[in-house]
Chain A
Amino acid sequence: MKTSYLLPHKYKTLGWILFIIGLSAGFIFVFNGYEANLLEIDVLSIFNDSNFFGSEKGFFKIIKNSIVDELIALAIIVGGLLVGFSKEKIEDEFIYKLRKDSLVWAIIFNYMVLVFTILFVYDFTFFHVLVFNMFTPLMFFVIRFNFLRLKSTSYEE
């Protein structure tokens, strides 16, 4: 089974490590109220139209920012992509179908959850929904794919 977009199997382990570290750090970060003053460095902000956090408005400004949240988000996204889009040990048409079905399922499920939260979650709490929703499509996909894959491993002779 030839697929053009899949990475070699060896990236899977790296993906899991990044994904799990990212998710754990992410939960800690959220429970601490999105506060972190570590790793504050100069970053390039290409566009900023709010001074909610005291930064200057405008285009292409160098600002000070803690990059903890950026690192966490990147770890989850890169990790999740590596896990979801690296080849399995044996890649064939059935695995390919499981991956595709899981992607469809994840998108539909994600938006059903989002519709529910739009209707029933209000005020600043909805900010949490927005944050989680950056990662839930990828998370649901990875969980669903691995669940189906492991489920179809059980067999009788």
Chain B
Amino acid sequence: MKNRIKVERAELDITQADLATKIGVSRQSINAIEKGKYVPSTVLALKIAQLFKKPVEAIFTLEDQD
């Protein structure tokens, strides 16, 4: 699964730590998700999308191997 978190973060000019604090997770989680090492749960994906005020599909997209 691909995600645009890094881009969205850049647009809002917030750090991984800021984003983590805003949605109440550890910074490690955001880092792992951005690097594509961890696929977040639906709840977490929805929280991230809500924060960026976009639908989930605008931030997370499936890849061929998924």
Contacts and interface: CB of A to CB of B under 8 A. Distances in A.
Interface of A: 88-95, 97-98, 149, 152-153, 155, 157
B28 A93 contact: no
Contacts of B38: 94, 97
Interface of B: 15-16, 20, 24-29, 31-33, 37-38, 40-41, 44
A152 B25 contact: no
A152 B16 contact: no
A94 B15 contact: no
Contact of B32 (A88, A90, A94): A94
Nearest to B40: A93
Contacts of A97: 38
A157 B15 contact: yes
A152 B15 contact: no
A96 to B, nearest CB: 10
B18 to A, nearest CB: 10
Given A93-B40, A94-B32, A94-B38, A153 B15 contact: no
Contacts of B27: 153, 155
A92 B31 contact: no
A95 B29 contact: yes
